[in-house]
Amino acid sequence: MHSVVLGTSGTTATDVLAVARGGARVELSEDAMAAVAASRRIIDDLAAKPEPVYGVSTGFGALAVRHISPELRVQLQRNIVRSHAAGMGPRVEREVVRALMFLRLKTLASGRTGVRPVVVRTMAAVLNAGITPVVHEYGSLGCSGDLAPLSHCALTLMGEGEAEGPDGALRPAAELLAEHGIEPVELREKEGLALLNGTDGMLGMLLMACEDLGRLFTAADVTAALSLEALLGTDRVLAPELHAIRPHPGQAASADNMLRVLAGSGLTGHHQDDAPRVQDAYSVRCAPQVAGAGRDTLTHARLVADRELAAAVDNPVVLPDGRVESNGNFHGAPVAYVLDFLAIAAADLASIAERRTDRLLDKNRSHGLPPFLAGDAGVDSGLMIAQYTQAALVSEMKRLAVPASVDSIPSSAMQEDHVSMGWSAARKLRTAVDNLTRVIAVELVAATRAIELREGLAPAPASRAVLAAVRRAGVEGPGADRYLAPDLAAADAFVRSGQLTEAAEQVTGPLA
Protein backbone atom coordinates (compact mmCIF):
# COMPACT_ATOMS: atom_id res chain seq x y z
CA MET A 1 0.00 0.00 0.00
CA HIS A 2 1.70 3.19 -1.13
CA SER A 3 1.44 6.61 0.48
CA VAL A 4 0.14 9.95 -0.73
CA VAL A 5 2.00 12.99 0.58
CA LEU A 6 -0.13 16.08 1.20
CA GLY A 7 1.56 19.43 0.80
CA THR A 8 0.07 22.90 0.68
CA SER A 9 -0.86 22.29 -2.98
CA GLY A 10 -0.38 19.88 -5.86
CA THR A 11 -2.93 17.18 -4.99
CA THR A 12 -3.98 15.19 -8.07
CA ALA A 13 -6.97 13.11 -9.08
CA THR A 14 -4.71 10.06 -8.90
CA ASP A 15 -3.97 10.89 -5.25
CA VAL A 16 -7.67 11.11 -4.42
CA LEU A 17 -8.45 7.79 -6.11
CA ALA A 18 -5.51 6.11 -4.40
CA VAL A 19 -6.82 7.08 -0.96
CA ALA A 20 -10.54 6.64 -1.71
CA ARG A 21 -10.40 3.38 -3.62
CA GLY A 22 -6.93 2.00 -3.03
CA GLY A 23 -6.64 2.57 0.70
CA ALA A 24 -3.36 4.48 0.33
CA ARG A 25 -1.90 6.01 3.48
CA VAL A 26 -1.74 9.77 3.89
CA GLU A 27 1.42 11.55 4.95
CA LEU A 28 1.67 15.26 5.79
CA SER A 29 4.62 17.23 4.47
CA GLU A 30 6.67 19.54 6.68
CA ASP A 31 5.74 22.59 4.60
CA ALA A 32 2.05 21.79 5.02
CA MET A 33 2.32 21.51 8.77
CA ALA A 34 4.32 24.75 8.92
CA ALA A 35 1.64 26.53 6.89
CA VAL A 36 -1.10 25.12 9.13
CA ALA A 37 0.69 26.35 12.25
CA ALA A 38 1.27 29.80 10.74
CA SER A 39 -2.39 30.30 9.81
CA ARG A 40 -3.47 29.11 13.25
CA ARG A 41 -1.41 31.85 14.86
CA ILE A 42 -3.43 34.39 12.88
CA ILE A 43 -6.70 32.90 14.15
CA ASP A 44 -5.44 32.86 17.74
CA ASP A 45 -4.54 36.54 17.45
CA LEU A 46 -7.99 37.42 16.13
CA ALA A 47 -9.68 35.32 18.80
CA ALA A 48 -7.94 37.36 21.48
CA LYS A 49 -9.31 40.66 20.14
CA PRO A 50 -12.64 42.16 21.21
CA GLU A 51 -13.88 42.74 17.64
CA PRO A 52 -16.17 39.95 16.31
CA VAL A 53 -14.80 37.85 13.43
CA TYR A 54 -17.15 35.52 11.55
CA GLY A 55 -16.51 31.87 12.36
CA VAL A 56 -14.01 32.75 15.08
CA SER A 57 -16.09 34.68 17.60
CA THR A 58 -19.59 34.73 16.09
CA GLY A 59 -22.41 32.33 15.38
CA PHE A 60 -22.94 30.87 11.91
CA GLY A 61 -25.18 31.48 8.91
CA ALA A 62 -28.25 33.47 9.86
CA LEU A 63 -26.98 33.48 13.49
CA ALA A 64 -23.72 35.27 12.62
CA VAL A 65 -24.93 38.48 14.27
CA ARG A 66 -24.21 37.17 17.78
CA HIS A 67 -20.78 37.74 19.31
CA ILE A 68 -19.67 34.66 21.25
CA SER A 69 -17.63 35.16 24.44
CA PRO A 70 -14.35 33.21 24.83
CA GLU A 71 -15.70 30.82 27.46
CA LEU A 72 -18.44 29.61 25.06
CA ARG A 73 -16.33 29.14 21.92
CA VAL A 74 -15.37 25.49 22.47
CA GLN A 75 -19.04 24.72 22.99
CA LEU A 76 -19.87 26.74 19.86
CA GLN A 77 -17.53 24.68 17.66
CA ARG A 78 -18.71 21.39 19.16
CA ASN A 79 -22.33 22.41 18.72
CA ILE A 80 -22.00 23.31 15.04
CA VAL A 81 -20.71 19.80 14.32
CA ARG A 82 -23.38 18.07 16.38
CA SER A 83 -26.26 20.14 15.00
CA HIS A 84 -25.08 19.90 11.40
CA ALA A 85 -24.61 16.12 11.58
CA ALA A 86 -28.25 15.82 10.57
CA GLY A 87 -28.06 13.48 7.59
CA MET A 88 -30.75 10.95 6.83
CA GLY A 89 -31.28 7.97 4.57
CA PRO A 90 -28.96 5.15 3.47
CA ARG A 91 -25.24 5.26 4.13
CA VAL A 92 -23.11 6.42 1.24
CA GLU A 93 -20.30 4.25 -0.04
CA ARG A 94 -17.00 3.88 1.81
CA GLU A 95 -15.01 5.24 -1.15
CA VAL A 96 -17.14 8.39 -1.20
CA VAL A 97 -16.54 9.03 2.50
CA ARG A 98 -12.80 8.47 2.15
CA ALA A 99 -12.66 10.88 -0.80
CA LEU A 100 -14.71 13.40 1.18
CA MET A 101 -12.36 13.23 4.18
CA PHE A 102 -9.18 13.29 2.12
CA LEU A 103 -10.27 16.32 0.12
CA ARG A 104 -11.21 18.19 3.29
CA LEU A 105 -7.82 17.23 4.72
CA LYS A 106 -6.20 18.54 1.52
CA THR A 107 -7.74 21.96 2.14
CA LEU A 108 -6.85 21.94 5.85
CA ALA A 109 -3.23 21.18 4.88
CA SER A 110 -3.16 24.20 2.55
CA GLY A 111 -2.78 26.56 5.49
CA ARG A 112 -5.77 28.61 4.39
CA THR A 113 -8.28 27.45 7.05
CA GLY A 114 -6.71 28.33 10.40
CA VAL A 115 -7.13 24.99 12.16
CA ARG A 116 -4.52 23.69 14.60
CA PRO A 117 -2.00 21.07 13.46
CA VAL A 118 -3.60 18.51 15.80
CA VAL A 119 -6.83 18.61 13.76
CA VAL A 120 -4.92 17.87 10.55
CA ARG A 121 -2.92 15.04 12.12
CA THR A 122 -6.04 13.49 13.64
CA MET A 123 -7.93 13.44 10.35
CA ALA A 124 -4.95 11.80 8.63
CA ALA A 125 -4.77 9.23 11.43
CA VAL A 126 -8.46 8.36 11.06
CA LEU A 127 -8.01 7.80 7.32
CA ASN A 128 -4.89 5.71 7.85
CA ALA A 129 -6.62 3.59 10.48
CA GLY A 130 -9.32 2.66 7.96
CA ILE A 131 -12.04 4.25 10.09
CA THR A 132 -14.95 5.43 7.94
CA PRO A 133 -17.57 7.75 9.45
CA VAL A 134 -21.23 7.00 8.80
CA VAL A 135 -22.41 9.53 6.21
CA HIS A 136 -25.99 9.56 4.97
CA GLU A 137 -27.49 10.12 1.53
CA TYR A 138 -29.39 13.31 2.35
CA GLY A 139 -28.20 16.46 4.08
CA SER A 140 -26.21 18.52 1.58
CA LEU A 141 -27.57 21.33 -0.59
CA GLY A 142 -24.13 21.85 -2.12
CA CYS A 143 -23.67 25.30 -0.64
CA SER A 144 -21.77 26.40 2.47
CA GLY A 145 -20.13 23.09 1.73
CA ASP A 146 -21.42 19.54 1.84
CA LEU A 147 -22.52 20.40 5.37
CA ALA A 148 -24.18 17.31 6.81
CA PRO A 149 -21.80 14.81 5.16
CA LEU A 150 -18.73 16.72 6.39
CA SER A 151 -20.30 17.15 9.83
CA HIS A 152 -20.67 13.41 10.24
CA CYS A 153 -16.95 13.09 9.45
CA ALA A 154 -16.08 15.83 11.94
CA LEU A 155 -18.22 14.08 14.55
CA THR A 156 -15.91 11.06 14.31
CA LEU A 157 -12.87 13.26 14.98
CA MET A 158 -14.60 14.35 18.18
CA GLY A 159 -15.14 10.72 19.18
CA GLU A 160 -18.90 10.87 18.74
CA GLY A 161 -21.42 9.06 16.56
CA GLU A 162 -20.85 5.82 14.68
CA ALA A 163 -18.19 4.77 12.21
CA GLU A 164 -17.16 1.68 10.27
CA GLY A 165 -13.98 -0.04 11.31
CA PRO A 166 -11.44 -1.63 8.97
CA ASP A 167 -13.34 -4.90 9.33
CA GLY A 168 -16.55 -3.31 8.01
CA ALA A 169 -18.39 -3.48 11.34
CA LEU A 170 -20.25 -0.43 12.66
CA ARG A 171 -19.15 0.66 16.13
CA PRO A 172 -19.15 3.80 18.29
CA ALA A 173 -16.51 6.19 16.97
CA ALA A 174 -15.00 6.62 20.44
CA GLU A 175 -14.27 2.88 20.64
CA LEU A 176 -12.63 2.83 17.22
CA LEU A 177 -10.45 5.85 17.97
CA ALA A 178 -9.34 4.37 21.28
CA GLU A 179 -8.56 1.03 19.64
CA HIS A 180 -6.21 2.76 17.21
CA GLY A 181 -4.64 5.08 19.78
CA ILE A 182 -6.26 8.23 18.36
CA GLU A 183 -7.18 10.96 20.81
CA PRO A 184 -10.53 12.71 20.09
CA VAL A 185 -10.16 16.39 19.20
CA GLU A 186 -11.67 19.19 21.28
CA LEU A 187 -12.40 21.80 18.64
CA ARG A 188 -11.47 25.43 19.18
CA GLU A 189 -12.17 28.73 17.40
CA LYS A 190 -12.87 28.38 13.69
CA GLU A 191 -12.21 24.62 13.60
CA GLY A 192 -15.76 23.29 13.54
CA LEU A 193 -16.61 25.61 10.69
CA ALA A 194 -13.41 24.76 8.80
CA LEU A 195 -14.29 21.05 8.90
CA LEU A 196 -17.70 21.64 7.29
CA ASN A 197 -17.23 24.28 4.58
CA GLY A 198 -16.21 22.50 1.39
CA THR A 199 -17.27 21.01 -1.93
CA ASP A 200 -15.38 17.85 -1.03
CA GLY A 201 -18.18 15.30 -1.37
CA MET A 202 -19.34 16.43 -4.78
CA LEU A 203 -15.74 16.83 -5.97
CA GLY A 204 -14.77 13.35 -4.80
CA MET A 205 -17.71 11.82 -6.61
CA LEU A 206 -16.90 13.87 -9.73
CA LEU A 207 -13.33 12.57 -9.76
CA MET A 208 -14.49 8.96 -9.43
CA ALA A 209 -17.15 9.43 -12.11
CA CYS A 210 -14.54 10.88 -14.48
CA GLU A 211 -12.32 7.85 -13.90
CA ASP A 212 -15.18 5.41 -14.50
CA LEU A 213 -16.60 7.22 -17.52
CA GLY A 214 -13.17 7.41 -19.13
CA ARG A 215 -13.12 3.60 -19.15
CA LEU A 216 -16.76 3.29 -20.22
CA PHE A 217 -16.40 5.57 -23.25
CA THR A 218 -13.70 3.25 -24.56
CA ALA A 219 -15.78 0.17 -23.78
CA ALA A 220 -18.73 1.74 -25.59
CA ASP A 221 -16.60 2.27 -28.70
CA VAL A 222 -15.71 -1.43 -28.66
CA THR A 223 -19.32 -2.60 -28.34
CA ALA A 224 -20.45 -0.10 -31.00
CA ALA A 225 -17.86 -1.56 -33.35
CA LEU A 226 -19.04 -5.10 -32.58
CA SER A 227 -22.65 -4.08 -33.29
CA LEU A 228 -21.67 -2.42 -36.58
CA GLU A 229 -19.90 -5.63 -37.54
CA ALA A 230 -22.81 -7.85 -36.50
CA LEU A 231 -25.18 -5.70 -38.59
CA LEU A 232 -22.90 -6.03 -41.65
CA GLY A 233 -22.46 -2.27 -41.64
CA THR A 234 -19.83 -0.22 -43.39
CA ASP A 235 -16.73 1.07 -41.66
CA ARG A 236 -16.15 3.69 -44.34
CA VAL A 237 -17.95 6.24 -42.17
CA LEU A 238 -15.11 5.90 -39.66
CA ALA A 239 -12.42 7.17 -42.05
CA PRO A 240 -10.24 9.81 -40.34
CA GLU A 241 -10.64 12.30 -43.21
CA LEU A 242 -14.39 12.43 -42.56
CA HIS A 243 -13.86 13.30 -38.91
CA ALA A 244 -11.08 15.78 -39.64
CA ILE A 245 -13.56 18.08 -41.36
CA ARG A 246 -15.60 18.28 -38.14
CA PRO A 247 -12.72 18.64 -35.71
CA HIS A 248 -14.18 17.58 -32.37
CA PRO A 249 -11.37 15.66 -30.63
CA GLY A 250 -13.65 13.16 -28.91
CA GLN A 251 -15.40 12.26 -32.16
CA ALA A 252 -12.09 11.55 -33.88
CA ALA A 253 -10.92 9.43 -30.95
CA SER A 254 -14.09 7.31 -30.93
CA ALA A 255 -14.03 6.82 -34.70
CA ASP A 256 -10.40 5.76 -34.53
CA ASN A 257 -11.14 3.28 -31.74
CA MET A 258 -13.94 1.70 -33.75
CA LEU A 259 -11.88 1.57 -36.93
CA ARG A 260 -9.04 -0.19 -35.14
CA VAL A 261 -11.37 -2.75 -33.58
CA LEU A 262 -12.86 -3.47 -37.02
CA ALA A 263 -9.54 -3.77 -38.85
CA GLY A 264 -9.46 -6.98 -40.89
CA SER A 265 -13.16 -7.75 -40.49
CA GLY A 266 -14.84 -10.02 -43.01
CA LEU A 267 -18.30 -8.80 -41.94
CA THR A 268 -18.11 -5.08 -42.64
CA GLY A 269 -19.05 -3.79 -46.05
CA HIS A 270 -21.79 -6.33 -46.69
CA HIS A 271 -24.52 -3.68 -46.42
CA GLN A 272 -25.31 -4.07 -50.13
CA ASP A 273 -25.72 -7.86 -50.06
CA ASP A 274 -29.32 -8.63 -49.08
CA ALA A 275 -31.54 -5.55 -49.19
CA PRO A 276 -29.11 -2.87 -50.40
CA ARG A 277 -28.79 0.17 -48.10
CA VAL A 278 -26.73 3.19 -48.95
CA GLN A 279 -26.31 4.17 -45.31
CA ASP A 280 -26.46 2.52 -41.91
CA ALA A 281 -28.93 3.73 -39.31
CA TYR A 282 -27.98 6.68 -37.15
CA SER A 283 -27.35 4.53 -34.07
CA VAL A 284 -24.58 2.80 -36.05
CA ARG A 285 -23.36 5.54 -38.36
CA CYS A 286 -23.36 8.32 -35.75
CA ALA A 287 -21.82 6.32 -32.91
CA PRO A 288 -18.55 8.35 -32.94
CA GLN A 289 -20.42 11.64 -32.97
CA VAL A 290 -22.47 10.77 -29.88
CA ALA A 291 -19.71 9.05 -27.93
CA GLY A 292 -17.28 11.76 -29.01
CA ALA A 293 -19.50 14.52 -27.67
CA GLY A 294 -19.53 12.67 -24.37
CA ARG A 295 -15.75 12.42 -24.43
CA ASP A 296 -15.43 16.16 -24.95
CA THR A 297 -17.85 16.77 -22.09
CA LEU A 298 -15.67 14.54 -19.94
CA THR A 299 -12.60 16.57 -20.91
CA HIS A 300 -14.34 19.73 -19.71
CA ALA A 301 -15.43 18.03 -16.49
CA ARG A 302 -11.83 16.99 -15.78
CA LEU A 303 -10.69 20.57 -16.32
CA VAL A 304 -13.22 21.81 -13.75
CA ALA A 305 -12.24 19.01 -11.34
CA ASP A 306 -8.55 19.93 -11.62
CA ARG A 307 -9.34 23.57 -10.88
CA GLU A 308 -11.41 22.60 -7.86
CA LEU A 309 -8.60 20.31 -6.68
CA ALA A 310 -6.29 23.32 -6.72
CA ALA A 311 -8.72 25.32 -4.57
CA ALA A 312 -8.75 25.87 -0.82
CA VAL A 313 -12.47 26.16 -0.08
CA ASP A 314 -13.44 27.55 3.32
CA ASN A 315 -15.32 30.49 4.81
CA PRO A 316 -13.79 32.58 6.20
CA VAL A 317 -10.41 31.88 4.63
CA VAL A 318 -6.93 32.90 5.78
CA LEU A 319 -5.23 34.75 2.90
CA PRO A 320 -1.45 34.75 2.31
CA ASP A 321 -1.18 38.33 3.56
CA GLY A 322 -2.78 37.36 6.88
CA ARG A 323 -6.25 38.74 6.25
CA VAL A 324 -9.21 36.56 7.26
CA GLU A 325 -12.03 37.18 4.81
CA SER A 326 -15.54 35.88 4.27
CA ASN A 327 -16.29 34.66 0.75
CA GLY A 328 -18.62 32.52 -1.34
CA ASN A 329 -16.15 29.97 -2.69
CA PHE A 330 -18.05 27.13 -1.03
CA HIS A 331 -20.84 27.45 -3.62
CA GLY A 332 -20.82 24.25 -5.64
CA ALA A 333 -22.10 25.60 -8.97
CA PRO A 334 -18.94 24.90 -11.04
CA VAL A 335 -18.86 21.29 -9.88
CA ALA A 336 -22.63 20.80 -9.97
CA TYR A 337 -22.88 21.89 -13.60
CA VAL A 338 -20.36 19.37 -14.90
CA LEU A 339 -21.87 16.59 -12.78
CA ASP A 340 -25.16 17.30 -14.56
CA PHE A 341 -23.45 17.55 -17.95
CA LEU A 342 -21.94 14.09 -17.45
CA ALA A 343 -25.30 12.60 -16.50
CA ILE A 344 -26.70 13.92 -19.78
CA ALA A 345 -23.79 12.51 -21.78
CA ALA A 346 -24.05 9.14 -20.05
CA ALA A 347 -27.79 8.95 -20.71
CA ASP A 348 -27.36 9.68 -24.41
CA LEU A 349 -24.56 7.16 -24.78
CA ALA A 350 -26.77 4.54 -23.13
CA SER A 351 -29.68 5.51 -25.36
CA ILE A 352 -27.77 5.00 -28.60
CA ALA A 353 -26.35 1.69 -27.34
CA GLU A 354 -29.86 0.44 -26.55
CA ARG A 355 -31.02 1.37 -30.07
CA ARG A 356 -28.23 -0.75 -31.57
CA THR A 357 -29.21 -3.67 -29.34
CA ASP A 358 -32.84 -3.38 -30.41
CA ARG A 359 -31.76 -3.35 -34.06
CA LEU A 360 -29.76 -6.55 -33.54
CA LEU A 361 -32.85 -8.29 -32.12
CA ASP A 362 -35.38 -7.14 -34.75
CA LYS A 363 -35.47 -9.53 -37.70
CA ASN A 364 -36.83 -6.74 -39.92
CA ARG A 365 -33.74 -4.57 -39.32
CA SER A 366 -30.94 -7.01 -38.45
CA HIS A 367 -30.16 -8.08 -42.03
CA GLY A 368 -30.59 -11.81 -41.70
CA LEU A 369 -30.22 -12.51 -37.98
CA PRO A 370 -32.86 -14.67 -36.26
CA PRO A 371 -35.58 -12.90 -34.22
CA PHE A 372 -34.21 -11.83 -30.83
CA LEU A 373 -31.10 -13.87 -31.65
CA ALA A 374 -33.06 -16.89 -30.42
CA GLY A 375 -32.02 -20.49 -30.99
CA ASP A 376 -35.53 -21.59 -32.07
CA ALA A 377 -37.63 -18.44 -32.31
CA GLY A 378 -41.08 -18.98 -30.84
CA VAL A 379 -39.94 -21.80 -28.62
CA ASP A 380 -37.04 -19.61 -27.47
CA SER A 381 -37.28 -15.90 -26.62
CA GLY A 382 -33.55 -15.28 -26.96
CA LEU A 383 -32.48 -11.86 -25.72
CA MET A 384 -35.95 -10.29 -25.88
CA ILE A 385 -36.13 -9.50 -22.17
CA ALA A 386 -32.45 -8.59 -21.90
CA GLN A 387 -33.38 -5.65 -24.12
CA TYR A 388 -36.29 -4.85 -21.78
CA THR A 389 -33.81 -4.66 -18.91
CA GLN A 390 -31.55 -2.46 -20.96
CA ALA A 391 -34.47 -0.20 -21.89
CA ALA A 392 -35.48 0.11 -18.22
CA LEU A 393 -31.92 1.17 -17.34
CA VAL A 394 -31.89 3.74 -20.13
CA SER A 395 -35.25 5.11 -19.09
CA GLU A 396 -33.98 5.64 -15.56
CA MET A 397 -30.86 7.33 -16.90
CA LYS A 398 -33.00 9.79 -18.83
CA ARG A 399 -34.75 10.72 -15.58
CA LEU A 400 -31.39 11.02 -13.84
CA ALA A 401 -30.22 13.37 -16.60
CA VAL A 402 -32.66 16.06 -15.42
CA PRO A 403 -30.27 18.67 -13.95
CA ALA A 404 -30.09 19.03 -10.19
CA SER A 405 -28.09 22.26 -10.43
CA VAL A 406 -31.10 24.32 -11.58
CA ASP A 407 -33.16 23.26 -8.59
CA SER A 408 -32.00 25.75 -5.98
CA ILE A 409 -34.00 25.83 -2.75
CA PRO A 410 -33.48 28.50 -0.06
CA SER A 411 -32.34 27.64 3.46
CA SER A 412 -31.02 29.15 6.73
CA ALA A 413 -33.75 31.77 7.07
CA MET A 414 -32.96 33.04 3.56
CA GLN A 415 -29.30 33.70 4.37
CA GLU A 416 -28.40 30.82 2.09
CA ASP A 417 -30.98 31.71 -0.52
CA HIS A 418 -29.33 30.11 -3.57
CA VAL A 419 -27.70 26.69 -3.41
CA SER A 420 -26.03 24.42 -5.97
CA MET A 421 -27.50 20.97 -5.25
CA GLY A 422 -24.10 19.61 -6.31
CA TRP A 423 -24.22 16.69 -3.88
CA SER A 424 -27.54 15.59 -5.40
CA ALA A 425 -26.08 15.92 -8.90
CA ALA A 426 -23.18 13.71 -7.83
CA ARG A 427 -25.38 11.08 -6.23
CA LYS A 428 -27.55 10.65 -9.31
CA LEU A 429 -24.48 10.57 -11.55
CA ARG A 430 -23.14 7.60 -9.59
CA THR A 431 -26.35 5.72 -10.36
CA ALA A 432 -26.14 6.77 -14.00
CA VAL A 433 -22.56 5.47 -14.30
CA ASP A 434 -23.60 2.13 -12.81
CA ASN A 435 -26.50 1.90 -15.24
CA LEU A 436 -24.33 2.81 -18.22
CA THR A 437 -22.02 -0.09 -17.36
CA ARG A 438 -24.99 -2.47 -17.43
CA VAL A 439 -26.32 -1.03 -20.70
CA ILE A 440 -22.95 -1.56 -22.39
CA ALA A 441 -22.88 -5.10 -20.97
CA VAL A 442 -26.23 -5.95 -22.59
CA GLU A 443 -25.05 -4.60 -25.95
CA LEU A 444 -21.94 -6.73 -25.59
CA VAL A 445 -24.02 -9.86 -24.98
CA ALA A 446 -26.19 -9.14 -28.02
CA ALA A 447 -23.38 -8.12 -30.37
CA THR A 448 -21.14 -11.09 -29.58
CA ARG A 449 -24.03 -13.52 -29.97
CA ALA A 450 -24.98 -11.91 -33.29
CA ILE A 451 -21.41 -12.10 -34.62
CA GLU A 452 -21.27 -15.81 -33.80
CA LEU A 453 -24.53 -16.32 -35.70
CA ARG A 454 -22.93 -14.88 -38.87
CA GLU A 455 -21.60 -18.21 -40.04
CA GLY A 456 -19.21 -18.17 -42.96
CA LEU A 457 -17.99 -14.62 -42.33
CA ALA A 458 -14.88 -13.98 -40.26
CA PRO A 459 -15.02 -11.23 -37.65
CA ALA A 460 -12.10 -8.87 -37.07
CA PRO A 461 -9.15 -10.20 -35.05
CA ALA A 462 -9.98 -7.75 -32.22
CA SER A 463 -13.59 -8.96 -32.24
CA ARG A 464 -12.42 -12.56 -32.01
CA ALA A 465 -10.27 -11.63 -29.02
CA VAL A 466 -13.27 -10.06 -27.29
CA LEU A 467 -15.45 -13.07 -28.11
CA ALA A 468 -12.94 -15.48 -26.64
CA ALA A 469 -12.47 -13.39 -23.49
CA VAL A 470 -16.17 -12.86 -22.85
CA ARG A 471 -16.87 -16.56 -23.22
CA ARG A 472 -14.07 -17.36 -20.76
CA ALA A 473 -15.70 -14.88 -18.39
CA GLY A 474 -18.86 -16.99 -18.25
CA VAL A 475 -21.09 -15.31 -20.84
CA GLU A 476 -22.49 -18.10 -23.00
CA GLY A 477 -23.07 -17.84 -26.74
CA PRO A 478 -26.02 -18.68 -29.00
CA GLY A 479 -28.28 -21.61 -28.22
CA ALA A 480 -31.46 -22.61 -26.47
CA ASP A 481 -32.95 -20.38 -23.78
CA ARG A 482 -31.35 -20.59 -20.36
CA TYR A 483 -31.37 -18.67 -17.09
CA LEU A 484 -30.10 -15.36 -18.47
CA ALA A 485 -29.41 -13.21 -15.40
CA PRO A 486 -26.03 -14.88 -14.65
CA ASP A 487 -24.86 -14.17 -18.20
CA LEU A 488 -25.80 -10.51 -17.85
CA ALA A 489 -24.11 -10.29 -14.44
CA ALA A 490 -20.94 -11.83 -15.88
CA ALA A 491 -21.00 -9.38 -18.78
CA ASP A 492 -21.48 -6.50 -16.34
CA ALA A 493 -18.45 -7.62 -14.33
CA PHE A 494 -16.48 -8.05 -17.58
CA VAL A 495 -17.16 -4.46 -18.62
CA ARG A 496 -16.82 -2.99 -15.12
CA SER A 497 -13.41 -4.56 -14.55
CA GLY A 498 -11.99 -3.23 -17.82
CA GLN A 499 -11.57 -6.71 -19.31
CA LEU A 500 -13.60 -5.80 -22.41
CA THR A 501 -11.21 -3.07 -23.42
CA GLU A 502 -8.17 -5.11 -22.41
CA ALA A 503 -9.30 -7.97 -24.67
CA ALA A 504 -9.64 -5.67 -27.68
CA GLU A 505 -6.32 -3.97 -26.93
CA GLN A 506 -4.51 -7.30 -27.17
CA VAL A 507 -4.98 -6.83 -30.92
CA THR A 508 -5.42 -3.08 -31.41
CA GLY A 509 -2.88 -1.78 -28.94
CA PRO A 510 -3.92 0.99 -26.51
CA LEU A 511 -7.29 2.56 -27.34
CA ALA A 512 -8.20 6.15 -26.47
H/E stretch holding 223: helix 200-230
d(CA 267, CA 241): 22
| DSSP class per residue in 244-285 | HTS--HHHHHHHHHHHHHHTT-SSTT-TTSSS--SS--HHHH
CB atoms within 10 A of CB 364: 7
| DSSP class per residue in 429-480 | HHHHHHHHHHHHHHHHHHHHHHHHHSTTSPPPHHHHHHHHHHHHTT---SSS
Q: Mind spelling out the 3-state secondary structure of 390-411?
A: HHHHHHHHHHHCCCCCCCCCCE
Report yes or no: 349 and 294 within 8 Å, Cβ to Cβ. Answer: yes
CB atoms within 10 A of CB 54: 16
d(CA 432, CA 394): 9
- Reduced to 3 states, what is the DSSP secondary structure of residue 143? coil
Q: Which of 451, 452, 443 is nearest to 491 (CA)?
A: 443
Q: Which of 192, 199, 189 is nearest to 39 (CA)?
A: 189
CB atoms within 10 A of CB 250: 22
Please state whether 190 falls in left (phi above 0), alpha (psi between -120 and 50) or beta.
left
CA dihedral 312, 430, 207, 60 (to 10 degrees): 0
Q: Per DSSP, what are the bridge partners of residue 132?
A: 164
Q: Exactly one of 54, 138, 337, 388 is catalytic; which is it? A: 54
- Reduced to 3 states, what is the DSSP secondary structure of residue 304? helix
Catalytic site includes residue 54:
yes
Active site residue ranges: 54
